[in-house]
Homo-oligomer: A and B are copies of this chain.
């Protein structure tokens, strides 16, 4: 069976989104600064149908994090925006061809028919909890890994439930000062650093999470 993992950009002071998230600014004020290390890479641009970009250690990380992922899980806000347009016309932030190219399970309290997007992405809405979503995602992944795509509260729920096997933090050397924290209300899991990749733009630390049996 595949493992359950999460990779996420985090500020030096622990935030994964800025304050005042809204439909206009789903990652919050200043939150875009968390992702600039990725935008400038060749791998991110290629994955999003663009040319150019830099071939750096950061670029290799971008390629690494999609390898072996067979399905994704995301929260309702990540799919639909903070308090956003959750209706039958909304198909996510990513246009006709989202960058997932795999089954995506969206946690939601509202049942909805699955969405089939271009390029192999499907959005399946799961209203009966995180364990059900994980079972469905693992089945859909067919032995490959399941990635928890975010946001923070979904990652926290999987961490707290002891269901996450790997947390890969991209520590970005910025201070947001306020916003959405990742590592709050998660209990006391045991983290073991298993890989560190350093660049001027971010320090990428991969932790194995040891969950009590």
Interface residues of A (CB under 8 A from B): 12-14, 171, 173-175, 177, 183-184, 186-193, 196, 198-200, 202-203, 205, 207
Q: Which 7 A-B pairs have the closest CB atoms?
A: A196-B198, A173-B191, A13-B183, A14-B14, A175-B188, A203-B205, A173-B193
Q: State the oligomeric state as a number of copies.
A: 2
A-B contact pairs, 30 of them (CB 8 A): A12-B183, A12-B191, A13-B14, A13-B183, A13-B184, A14-B183, A171-B171, A171-B205, A173-B190, A173-B191, A173-B192, A173-B193, A174-B188, A174-B191, A175-B183, A175-B186, A175-B187, A175-B188, A175-B189, A177-B188, A192-B200, A193-B198, A193-B199, A193-B200, A193-B202, A196-B196, A196-B198, A198-B205, A203-B203, A203-B205
Chain B residue with Cβ nearest A196: B198
Does more than half of chain A's interface fall in helix, strand or loop, or is it mixed? loop
